[in-house]
Amino acid sequence: MPQSLSKNLIHLIFSTKDREPVLTREVREDLHRYFAGILKDLDSSPLVMDSRPDHVHLLFSLNKNLSLARAVMELKRGSSKWLKTQGPAFRNFHWQNGYGAFSVSQSAEAEVRRYIARQEEHHRTLSFQEEYRAFLQRYGVDFDERYVWD
């Protein structure tokens, strides 16, 4: 086969350091555009994203020549640098060290898109920690609660 083809859909979730609720409504839309720009620069396709004051959800198609770890590093590093230019409230901004990344089958893409689009609705009754634990359990990811949060 002369050509390598792939479609790797990734649902990426990560929070602000110590889940500080610093992502204001005013900055979120621009942050999403910034994330999209980083992904495009990495030849990866942004599909949908949303954020709450303390965390973000991104669904994207990962470039076949790019590791997931590098994509996450570039997203977090670039957006953190950008956020620090957005005023005094972000001067000491940091993302959490870790992240959750979950592969999404083509048949589940629409469901994940809807889920991400409804973040505000979900978080009326569910904290980020509850939501994240549920993802880890749903995907069968073993974890130690002592090391999940920072």
Q: Quick: pLDDT tens for 89-143.
A: 999 999 999 999 999 999 999 999 999 999 888 888 988 889 889 889 989 999 8
Residues 49 and 116 sit within 8 Å (Cβ to Cβ)? yes
Axis-axis angle for helices 68-83, 25-41 (nearest 10): 140
Residue 80 vs residue 125, higher pLDDT: 80
CA atoms of 100 and 135, how far apart (whole Å): 9
| CATH number for the domain formed by residue range(s) 8-148 | 3.30.70.1290
Sorted by sequence, the CB contacts under 8 Å of residue 8 that are 6+ apart come out as 61, 62, 64, 103
Spans of all domains in the chain: 8-148
pTM value is: 0.93
